[in-house]
Structure 1
């Protein structure tokens, strides 16, 4: 092979090599651009999620304050009023004074429990099961209805912000049960499997027409559903007039 032919081969090889380098550089540039775009989209999605969480927490705080007002006025207020009447009618009787003191003590205990359940910092120190148990025990003490919590499976690792939202969704359901359902029983079942948290809450109250309530854009239903959607959970209702109400919440961590 003469020198001219060898030179041609070398030039062709160099040209092919340069072409390959250019193709690789272009592909790498496209890959990095897409990667950076994806990372940016993920960051923006996370920012939107954090913003929505913050807005939801504000909405939850306002709803919680409304419920506190109801609790203080209709329930704890009644206890303190009863204690006042017992004290006024005691006539100096130690037994009557002891009854009044016991009533005041019960009221103070309910205030302390209520303060834990509305305090985000206190909730952050409790597991979801502990918060639910505390809430249901309070219902039993106040004789709202008979309530019971059952749990099964090994608890999953769930972000505390999300656990608090799940708890607030259930609180909304509990409040509706106590205020509107005329139920005598409330059963809550918390089940963990390998990847999913499933919570079923059911009462034996008067129930309601879900389709009708949804069509009227009921605030309670809308709030619960929007909060569940925010964290990637699903909510299903099963209710009919005079047949009680059941709420089923399903959440899979890292679904967002």
Structure 2
């Protein structure tokens, strides 16, 4: 009887040990799988982010080159043509005007040179980039634009700044090309651990639907916002303009 009892205890103990061992192995395998899955997801997110940065930099470069083409043709070309005409009829009385035109042309060329610089595209600072963009709109009379900055400036991730700027560029492009707006206002507000950006126009507006967002070339904005822990909201009503709100959390 005592022997049977001992054998039963040994059997139960063995069963418990085997059960615990198997459970630990199963838990370890599950943990490893989850860990590997998490690492793969992180790797995919990192690759997606790096790919998005590369694509965004290319888009900014292409947009910059388009802008340069327009400025050379519509602005600098006209200034130099005017200077040429005035030089053909130059007199001591109009030399000052010719000098002013040439000086303005040189200023425009310097501005273009700065935007062509690869360092400007790869190391773009959000506040400076927005300021230059707004200045360009006003200088070329594309649209009456303003930039209002409030709060104490805080440093943000360089790559995140590139993505935010491109998101805003898409909105600006749509405003100028399609909205029939006469005014564009941008508000950049710095807080301790987040940044709020509002870009709004007084254009024709539209009814906000997903297919509308795709139709006007803003389909990438929300996806890009998610990559950098930000939220992008598009608001619009017919005849009441359009507003893009970006909330970026550091």
Q: TM-score, normalised by structure 2?
A: 0.77
Across the two proteins, how many residue pairs are aligned to each other?
245
1:230 to 224, 227, 233: 224
Structure 1 position 169, deviation (Å): 3.3
Report the equivalent of 2:238: 240
In structure 2, how many angstroms separate the alpha carbons of the residues matched to 1:9 and 1:50? 60
Query: What corresponds to 1:50 in structure 2?
Result: 50
Partner of 1:21: 21
Q: Deviations over 1:215-236 (max 9, x none)?
A: 5965xx31x3314422324241
SS at match of 2:198: strand
Whether the 8 Å contact between 1:117 and 1:131 is mirrored in structure 2 is no
Compute the RMSD of aligned alpha carbons: 3.5
SS in 1 for 2:204: coil
Partner of 1:108: 106
Q: Please state whether the residue corresponding to 2:147 is helix, strand or coil.
A: strand
Partners of 1:118 and 1:147 in 2: how far apart?
22
d(CA) in 2 for partners of 1:217, 1:37: 32
What is the aligned partner in structure 2 of residue 96 from structure 1? 94
Contact 1:110–1:138 (Cα < 8 Å) also in 2: no
1:253 & 1:14 partners in 2: Cα distance? 55
**2:185–2:200 Cα contact (<8 Å) kept:** yes
Which runs of 5 or more residues in structure 2 are unaligned? none
Q: 1:31 to 1:234 in 2, by over 3 A?
A: same
Contact 1:60 1:168 in 2 (8 A): yes
Q: Output one character per residue of 1:30-74: Cα deviation in whole Å (capped at 9) or x when no partner.
A: 111121122112212322333344334434433432232222211
The 5 A counterparts of 1:13-162 are 13-91=13-91, 93=92, 95-142=93-140, 144=142, 146-155=144-153, 157-162=155-160
Q: 1:7 to 1:144 in 2, by over 3 A?
A: closer
Q: What's 2:206 paired with?
A: 210
1:250 pairs with one of 228, 238, 246: 246
Q: 5+ unaligned residues in a row in structure 1: which ranges?
A: none
Distance in 2 (alpha carbons) for counterparts of 1:120 and 1:228: 27
